[in-house]
Amino acid sequence: MSRLLVTGGAGFIGSNFVHHVVAHTDHHVTVLDKLTYAGNRASLEGLPADRVEFVHGDIADAELVDSLFAGTDAVVHYAAESHNDNSLHDPRPFLDTNIIGTYTLLEAARRHGTRLHHISTDEVYGDLELDDPERFTEDTPYNPSSPYSSTKAGSDLLVRAWVRSFGVQATISNCSNNYGPYQHVEKFIPRQITNVIRGIRPKLYGAGRNVRDWIHADDHSSAVLTILEKGRIGETYLIGADGEKDNKSVVELILELMGQDQAAYDHVADRAGHDLRYAIDSTKLRTELGWTPQFGDFEAGLAATIDWYRANEAWWAPSKDSTEAFYAGKGQ
């Protein structure tokens, strides 16, 4: 059994990972989470207390981080400010957590010789034209567009430098857009599902032609565990499940699955600098480490996600009004 430290484990993907680890391994997990507006302890409810411990704190708190690394075999680093729209409104917390927070973890990994896996995003590569036959690979040059993606790119480069300069035992993964349970209602899919539940029309930025490459959060978790177990130190692995869809099609599918008229949505103001298309080529992860995604059917995964939001209104309702007020203030 290993002792894992999971940063950001009360967030969307981090909490899905903790559930996955408890279900599929015998590792012990310590979650370190600041519980920002995006963190929710309820996402970890029901997990056995002898397997999962929660520590409330900031990854940029060097003393706390150092004490936690002392009893840890491996760190999986999910904690981040994660939302592009927020980064356009107020970039500062993105620098504090994504850059300084990651730096703090790397220094602790260096001191303790601890294995670290850094979670990143396909957005570091910028965007693709709709008709580009190429997809992102591990060799695609970095070209981030937003304050969010530029701070994630910066954090990736810090990890690479700490591996090369100080011999830190780290790997990196860059994943495409996740969907599934426990995702904050500020994000595209949960926003539209909870809008329909509330009787609000879904909101599509611009014309809705932008393409995202959707992967179920549980497939992201199995990929991260695979990299943790078999990944080569210093390497980057792209994670994706061949799930390209344009936003308009996703909104129409949500409306159809929820028994509504497929045209019952609004076009709203576009996002500044809105990336057009992301698409991941995950050949390296599949061929070198033998990973395969399990959620091949996006429509079935989306239907299950809709069921989860219908059954868990108490989880998302406290954030819904303030989130919609933020968007309304921007004409979105």
In the complex, the residues that contact ligand DAU under the rule CB under 6 A are 82-84, 121-123, 176-177, 187-188, 191, 203-205, 210, 212, 247, 271, 278
- φ/ψ region of 50 (left if φ > 0, alpha if ψ in -120 to 50, else beta) reads alpha
Q: Among all chains, which residue has been given the structure tokens 């899919």?
A: 189
CB of 96 to ligand DAU, least distance (A): 16
- How far is residue 96's CA from residue 118's CA, in Å, rounded to a whole number? 16
Residue 33 binds ligand NAD (CB under 6 A): yes
**What residue 205 binds from ligand NAD, ligand DAU, none (CB within 5 to 8 A, per partner kind)?**
ligand DAU
The helix or strand, by DSSP H or E, that contains position 117, with its residue range, turns out to be strand 115-121
- How far is residue 182's CA from residue 131's CA, in Å, rounded to a whole number? 33
CB of 63 to ligand DAU, least distance (A): 28
Counted residue by residue, the chain has a size of 332
- How far is residue 94's CA from residue 78's CA, in Å, rounded to a whole number? 13
- How far is residue 80's CA from residue 117's CA, in Å, rounded to a whole number? 14
Of the candidate spans 64-72, 174-182, 197-205, 310-318, the one that interacts with ligand NAD by CB under 6 A turns out to be 174-182
Of 13 and 22, the one with the shorter C-beta distance to ligand NAD is: 13
Of the candidate spans 79-87, 125-133, 256-264, 310-318, the one that interacts with ligand NAD by CB under 6 A turns out to be 79-87
What is the C-alpha R_g of the chain? 19
Tokens of 219: 């497939």
CB of 204 to ligand DAU, least distance (A): 5
Of 83 and 263, the one with the shorter C-beta distance to ligand NAD is: 83
Residue 17 binds ligand NAD (CB under 6 A): no
CB of 56 to ligand NAD, least distance (A): 9
**Residue showing the smallest CB distance to ligand DAU in the complex:** 121
**What residue 218 binds from ligand NAD, ligand DAU, none (CB within 5 to 8 A, per partner kind)?**
none
Of 201 and 326, the one with the shorter C-beta distance to ligand NAD is: 326
| Cβ atoms within 10 Å, residue 6 | 29
Of the candidate spans 7-15, 105-113, 133-141, 298-306, the one that interacts with ligand NAD by CB under 6 A turns out to be 7-15
Q: Among all chains, which residue has been given the structure tokens 């549980």?
A: 218
Task: Show the binding pattern over residues 137-156: x = contacts ligand NAD (CB under 6 A), - = does not.
Answer: ---------------x----
Q: Among all chains, which residue has been given the structure tokens 């029901």?
A: 46
Tell me which residues are annotated as active site.
122-123, 148
CB of 95 to ligand NAD, least distance (A): 11
Q: Kindly report the backbone phi and psi dihedral angles of residue 56, in degrees, each rounded to the nearest multiple of 5, phi listed first.
A: -90, 115
- How far is residue 86's CA from residue 93's CA, in Å, rounded to a whole number? 10
Of the candidate spans 172-180, 199-207, 223-231, 267-275, the one that interacts with ligand NAD by CB under 6 A turns out to be 172-180
Site for ligand NAD in 106-125 (CB under 6 A): 119, 121
Q: What is the dihedral of CA 109, 163, 213, 266, to 10 degrees?
A: 60
- Contact between residue 306 and residue 254 where contact means Cβ atoms under 8 Å apart: yes
Residue 216 binds ligand NAD (CB under 6 A): no
- How far is residue 8's CA from residue 76's CA, in Å, rounded to a whole number? 9
Of 119 and 255, the one with the shorter C-beta distance to ligand NAD is: 119
Judged by DSSP in three states, 263 sits in coil
Interface with ligand NAD (CB under 6 A): 7-8, 10-14, 32-36, 38-39, 58-60, 78-82, 97, 101, 119, 121, 152, 175, 177-178, 184
